[in-house]
Amino acid sequence: MSDIKNLSGFVWSIAEILRGDLKQSEYGKVILPFVVLRRLDCLLENSKQAVLEAEKTLPENADEATRDMILFGAVGGNVKVYNLSRFTFESLKGQDPGQLHQNLIDYIIKFSPNVRDIFLDKFRFTDQLKRLKDGGILWNVFERFCEVDLHPEIISNIEMGYLFEELIRRFSEISNETAGEHFTPREVIRLIVDLLIANDDAKLTGRGIIRQVYDPACGTGGMLALTEEALKEFNTSIRVELFGQELNDESFGICKSDMLVTGHDPEQIAFGNTLTQDAHAGKKFHYMLSNPPYGVDWKKYQDPIKAEAENMGMEGRFGAGTPRISDGQLLFLQHMISKMRDDEYGSRIGIVMNGSPLFTGGAQSGESEIRRWMLENDWVEAIVALPTDLFYNTGIQTYVWLLTNLKPKNRQGKVQLIDASGERFWRSMRKSLGSKRREITDEARAEIVRLYADFLNGESGQNDVSKIFETTDFGYREIRVERPLTLNFQVSNERLARLSDFKPYTKLNEVDQNTIQAALKAMGDELFTNRNVFEKALTKALKTTGMKIGAPIKKAILSALSERDEDADICTDKKGNPEPDTDLRDHELVPLAEDWREYMEREVKPFVPDAWVDESYKDARDGEIGRVGYGINFNRYFYQYIPPRPLEQIDAELKALEAEIAGLLKEVAA
């Protein structure tokens, strides 16, 4: 790893040549494509002559597929890239520096189409080469890159991933961009992967095993690469097929380049917005893992997403619900669930998200309905709370969700919560990297995986960090609790003045307003504590005006002349039922496993005997009284009470501080 840091430092130093000619935010647009280009140059160096010779033997009318097959074969191995230019970095050094720009263009456009498109369309590298040429620094940059040895024998594919991510982090920092949108810390990825395959020993053992891995927000491909590495460490004969989709041009270019270099099918890495353009529609995967953007709004993509949710319902990806427009994390998770395999192997999902998907949104909100859908289908297997300050761009708390549609029998109907945020699971880094100040050690990672794999619920002294719950423990019914409306009525100057706050009254002409005022004043200032009695007196008074008083004006008069009074009679509707006071309306969250009537008798009635439940407030899905909601409050389940310090200790500390302050003031006065 130290070698990679030294290498990234050297590559980073090349960016100094760009100072003054390019903005700092543009350095990555030159350096990253050059790193990819140099890597491919090193990869193809030994097969260069064989490819050029193979080109001469191509049939005259060979189609693209035949051409590629022959030339890929000349490269050898599983590498799916070739270059037909006579140039290499080494030979370009011996050419006229004034011809470098033209020669590099020749070199780039003679790559196989799958790579040429990356440089031309995604990196837009020819534009950057022209800028370097116009600035007179192209040769300087190229010459320095010739000193970087990126041969596969020297730098492995995994190490290349480290190099890319370290460079992206640095470029993101200087341009105030979000590095976390591009990649996830390696120890977090390894934790997710280890959790995904922890109990899959039997499924992964033997020959002829094929596993398909998918990341819908794959960035530079770090999650895919480490999953493949872990699976091959477990079973060297396993065949791993990698799939992904990425929206960022440069990240996509890097990821697809890696797929080419490592012998994977580059067409399985798609470009575009996963939520609006599913490039792998209809595909199902064994393992899925992702770190989608946190708190990123999806407003500009909302039309196709909402249309899919409304038109396709549960046949589409977002039928369970859509979260608030400011955060699309749960959209990615629903998308992944839609790609679970319905066979004997099933699928497993590992996704890291912030705290919002756990508890944001009340009953029947989009977020709550998505949680309800996942928990009622028994897909959520475990949730692991990670330490803060793990990521490069944010120090917030994050959580790994583990889902599967093939739970073992002992986990069915249950969810395991693991609180791995404590000090025993992390160590401080000697040098911070952006917001990343902590890392999960290998020992801590193994401990978290053990807690999960052994399905611990307080055994072995782990009660403070691992707990097992029923899926229904996170559900509740939100019942609407009403209390009766009790009002008194009186014609007073103060209450009459309130009439000017009501539009039906202010729309009347001045003569009609004065007529009504006079009729009301004629009622005197008697205090009425029964609305029905007052309404009769009001109707009689208004008849004297000779005016036709509509219902809106009468309602305005009643509102203006009333005040809440606990000692007044209860207001009733036409059927004699108590009328609720909306200002006193409350909502109670009744645990899903409990009867709301028993809850009311125990928790509400002793304190407000006149309260009742609005039985028309029902759940839209099951039609039962009370709206169903789901939320997972980690802090509640792992809260540990810390008693306050003794008063004597606090008092002693205050006296010590007072003495210290007095001493300082004495020094100042002297």
Give the 3-state secondary structure of residue 512. helix
- Longest Cα pair distance anywhere in the chain, in angstroms? 112
- Helix (H), strand (E) at residue 467: strand 466-470
Residue 206 pLDDT exceeds 90: no
Q: Which residue has the tokens 């001469």?
A: 56
Alpha helices per DSSP H over 338-437: 356-359, 366-376
| Alpha carbon of residue 217 to chain centroid | 11
Q: Which residues contact 432 (CB under 8 A, 6 or more apart)?
A: none
CA atoms within 13 A on the CB side of 49: 2
Of 479, 477, 484, the closest CA to residue 611 belongs to: 484
Give the angle 655-656-662 at the CA atoms, nearest 5°.
Answer: 90
Confidence of residue 8 (pLDDT cuts 50, 70, 90): confident
Angle ∠(383,385,390) on CA atoms, nearest 5: 130
**Which residue would you say has higher pLDDT here, 156 or 560?**
560
- Give per-residue pLDDT as tens, 337-381: 999 999 988 999 999 999 999 999 999 999 999 999 999 999 999
Give the list of residues 6+ apart from residue 572 with CB closer than 8 angstroms, or none.
Answer: 532, 578, 579
Q: Cβ(85)–Cβ(106) under 8 Å? A: yes
The per-residue pLDDT for 185 is 85
pLDDT at 398 over 70: yes
Q: Give pLDDT tens digits for 235-275.
A: 999 999 999 999 988 889 888 888 887 778 888 999 999 99
Q: Look at residue 3 and tell me whether its pLDDT is greater than 80.
A: no
pLDDT band at residue 665 using 50, 70 and 90 as cut-offs: confident
Name residue 393's amino acid. N
Give the CA angle between residues 477, 478, 484 to the nearest 5°: 135
Q: pLDDT (tens digit, 9 = 90+) per residue, 420-465? A: 998 899 998 888 877 888 999 999 999 999 999 999 887 545 558 9
What topology does CATH give the domain 179-477? Rossmann fold (3.40.50)
pLDDT value of residue 505: 92
What Rg, from alpha-carbon coordinates, does the chain have? 35
For residue range 630-641, what is the model confidence (pLDDT) as tens digits?
A: 999 988 888 777
Q: What is the pLDDT of residue 254?
A: 84
Which SS3 state, helix, strand or coil, does residue 538 take?
helix
Model pLDDT, residue 143:
93
602: phi then psi, degrees, rounded to nearest 5? -90, -40
Average pLDDT over residues 8-30: 86
User: Would the pLDDT of 179 be above 50?
Assistant: no
Handedness of CA 456, 457, 460, 465 (dihedral sign): positive
- pTM of the shown model: 0.84
Closest to 618 measured CA to CA, from 609, 628, 608: 628
Mean pLDDT, rounded, for 218-222:
88
Output DSSP code: residue 364. T
Give the range among 387-401, 413-427, 608-622 with minimum mean pLDDT. Answer: 387-401
SS3 478: strand
Q: How many CA atoms lie within 13 A of 107 on its CB side?
A: 23
pLDDT, position 54: 92
Of 65 and 339, more confident: 339
| SS3 per-residue string spanning 425-438 | HCEEEEEEECCEEE
Paired with 241 in beta bridges are: 212
Mean pLDDT of the chain: 90
Residue range 504-522: mean pLDDT, rounded: 92
Which residue did the predictor score with more confidence, 605 or 166? 605
Flag whether pLDDT at 178 surpasses 50: no
Structure tokens at 629: 């909601």
- DSSP state letters, 558-597: HHHTEEE-TTSPBPB-TTSPBPB-GGG-EEEEEETTS-HH
Q: Rounded distance, CA 362 to CA 356, Å? A: 12
What pLDDT, in 10s, does the model give residues 590-616?
A: 999 999 999 999 999 999 999 999 999
Q: Give 163's contacts (C-beta < 8 A, 6+ positions apart).
A: 4, 7, 8, 11, 35, 155
Most confident of 55-64, 386-395, 410-419: 410-419
* Range scoring the smallest mean pLDDT among 38-42, 175-179, 650-654, 662-666: 175-179
**pLDDT above 90 as % of the chain:** 67
**Measuring CA to CA, how many Å separate 465 from each of 169, 188, 199, 260, 595?**
32, 18, 20, 42, 31
Please state the rounded mean pLDDT for residues 495-518: 93
State yes or no: pLDDT of 284 exceeds 60: yes
In angstroms, rounded to a whole number, what is the distance separating the alpha carbons of residues 37 and 44?
Answer: 11
Task: Give the pLDDT score at 183.
Answer: 66
3-state class of 316 per DSSP? Answer: coil
Contacts of 143 (CB under 8 A, 6+ apart): 93
